[in-house]
Every structure is written in C-alpha cells, then in structure tokens.
Amino acid sequence: MLIAAELRNLIAPAQLAGLDVTWMGADAPTPKGEWLAIVPLLSRWVGGTELKHLPNLRIVANCAVGYNNIDLVAAEMRKIIVTNTPDVLTDATADLTWALILACARRLSEGIELVKSGLWAGWHPELLLGLELRGRTLGIVGAGRIGQAVGRRAVGFGMRIAYAARRPRPDFERDTGATRLEIKPLLKASDVVTLHVPSTPETKGLINSETLSLMKPGAILVNTARGDLVREEALVFALETGRLGAAGLDVYTDEPEILPRLKAAPRTVLLPHIGSATADTRREMARIAVANVRAVLDGQPPLTPVVP
Ligand code: NAP
C-alpha cells in the first residue's frame, strides 16, 4: 500500500503489521504501479490519471472527512472504494470553529498585535470593543456532524441558532432551539455565519459578492470547511470596504497560497488549515484510514465508505 509519509509518526508500527508499505513524500507525484491501496492526504489530488496508473488499486482511504481531492466518478468507474475519516474530527473542528468565532468577535488578532507592538497604553473603556455573542444569531450553513457540533456549543454562549440544510434536523432543533432557514434569509438574519458544507460543484462559490451583500453590516464570516466555498476576491472587498465585520478562516481556495490582498485585509483571523489538528484526532484519523485499507484488503466492507 501507499501511505502519505507525513502520517508516519501518527501510526504505531503494529497498525501496519503484515502490510507492505511504501511511504509517499508530500511533493512527490503519486507513484505508478501495482499497489492495492493508497492513503493520501487531502492535499493530494487523486483523479482519473492517477487511478489509471494504479491498475490494481482497490481502495483510496483518504485521511480526511472531506473528499474533494478525489475524483469519485473516476473511482466508481474503476470499482475502487473510497473512504474518509468522519466523526473522530468533529469535536476538534467544532472547537477550532469556536476559536475563530471568539477570535473574530473579541478582536484577538488586534489585541495580540497591540500588546506585542509595545504600543498598548493601558486599559481604556473603548479599547478593541467587540461583539457580544449572547442574544446574537449564529447562522450555520450545513448542519452535518461538524455544523451541529458547532451549534450545540452555541447554546452555552446564549446565541440564537439558524441553520441551512437540505433536510431538517429535528433532534438538533429540539436540543438547541435552532430554526431551519433557506440560505438567503439565514445570511440576512445572522450576526455570525459559519460554513460547514462540503466542497461540491453546488457549494463552490456559495459566498460571493451577491451573498456577502445579503449579510448584516458588520457580521462575521467563519470558514473551517473548504476554501473554495468562498470567492476570496469578494470577501477581501467586503472586508476592505468595512461591509463585513470580520472573517475567520482556516481554509483557502489555493492553499497553502493565500491571496496577498486577503493576508493584508483588515479584521481577519487566518489559520493554516488546522481544524482537526489535535494529537488525538490526527492519530484517530490515521488509524481509521489504515483500518479501512485492512478491511478492504481482507475482503470485508470498509468501515467508513464515502457516501456522496
Ligand atoms: P457532513 O456530516 O457530511 O456534513 C456536511 C453537511 O453539508 C451535510 O449535512 C449535508 O447535508 C450538507 N450539505 C451538503 N451539500 C449541501 C448543500 N448544497 N446545501 C446545504 N447543505 C449541504 O460532514 P462534516 O463531517 O460535518 O464535515 C463538513 C466539512 O468540513 C467536510 O466536508 C470538510 O470539507 C470540512 N472539514 C474541514 C476541516 C478542517 O481541518 N478545517 C476538518 C474537518 C472537516 P445532507 O445531510 O442534506 O446531505
């Protein structure tokens, strides 16, 4: 099997016992050959060409819950199973989403810069005034595992919760008092909008100049899902003109490249795609990816097949 070399420290040798492993370097192209399984990172595109050059492949075990780096149609045509790593990263990613919400609402980046610059002149009643979250509305776009986990945390902060989803989530509504809205009314009603849909042809560019113009003046946008959900030029414009209150981002369209204008834009909190980055979660993600490989090579059903 082929495994991303970056996972080496996260996988105990016993987990790989009996498997013939070739480690793939981050910058190396996907090897061609007789391998039966591949465990890529989300940064590796696995498309028709790569699959064609792995003629014996039986499984792509993505080490992520998102799978927009894999051509599912090409995999299906070759009867290759695709798996992901759901659930184990839900809490870590929901926590990081809240880190961004709080950092934006309470202007943490500006505060940290002020202290480090040595320019802080002491307590002032109007220094870095932020947004009080209690009583405000959190708009969740995509109420799957992570979206709901973010919503459940919002109860503790006293926020009202709105969510946009293709189907209702009665348990979530009952537990949190959340209200289901169409996307446009949700954008109009929310003080904080947080994105939790996967990147698909339908969701790409969901946040653009038109949808940004629907948001409340001064609202906060948080994205820990995928970068291409947001048209970054439009986001930068909304920040530069003061239309948007703040943006907290963990993901970018062309990561690790980030638009220079986005890096320079005011009122941003920019993180390097660390949503699931806790030691426990990353170990679990690697464990599940390898367990999926083992199951499929043993002729068993995969533990966590991708269901598009
Ligand atoms: P999930 O449980 O599958 O949730 C995604 C939700 O999006 C589903 O409820 C789905 O609704 C909904 N959805 C899909 N297309 C939609 C559309 N067009 N309009 C409205 N809702 C739509 O996935 P998850 O585990 O919460 O993960 C969500 C995403 O977070 C992943 O795809 C990944 O890209 C991202 N992520 C990022 C990090 C990070 O490090 N920053 C970490 C983990 C995950 P239905 O139920 O109706 O299909």
- For 251-295, the pLDDT digits (tens) are 999 999 999 999 999 999 999 999 999 999 999 999 999 999 999
102, two tokens: 């709080």
Q: If you measure from the C-alpha of residue 208 to the centroid of ligand 1, how many angstroms do you get, rounded to a whole number? A: 19
The residue type at 291 = A
CA-based nearest residue to 290, from 7, 6, 98: 7
Ligand 1 surroundings by CB, under 6 angstroms: 65-66, 86, 89-90, 93, 142-147, 164-167, 196-200, 202-203, 224-226, 250-251, 273, 275-276
pLDDT, tens digit, for every residue of 171-193? Answer: 999 999 999 999 999 999 999 99
Catalogue the active-site residues.
Answer: 226, 255, 273
| pLDDT on residue 27 | 86
Average pLDDT along the chain:
97
Instruction: Answer for the pair 250, 100: CB distance below 8 angstroms, yes or no.
Output: yes
What is the b/e burial string over 271-304, where b = at least 16 CB atoms within 10 angstroms of the residue's CB? Answer: bebebbebeebbbbbbbbbbbbbbbbeeeeebbb
What is the spatial distance between Cα 242 and Cα 238, in angstroms, rounded to a whole number?
Answer: 6
CA-based nearest residue to 270, from 217, 227, 219: 227
Query: Which of 141, 146, 211, 278 to probe ligand 1 with, by most ligand atoms within 8 A of CB?
Result: 146
**What is the radius of gyration, based on Cα positions, of the chain?**
21
pLDDT, tens digit, for every residue of 216-253? Answer: 999 999 999 999 999 999 999 999 999 999 999 999 99
- What mean pLDDT is predicted for residues 141-157? 98
Percent of the chain that is helix, strand, coil (3-state, to 5): 35, 15, 45
Q: Name 180's Cβ contacts closer than 8 Å, sequence gap at least 6.
A: 162, 163, 164, 165, 168, 169, 173
Closest atom of ligand 1 relative to the 166 alpha carbon: 47
Q: If you measure from the C-alpha of residue 214 to the centroid of ligand 1, how many angstroms do you get, rounded to a whole number? A: 22
Q: Return the residue whose CA atom lies nearest to atom 47 of ligand 1.
A: 166
Eight-class DSSP state of 259: -
The end-to-end CA distance of the chain, in Å, is 25
112, two tokens: 């940290």
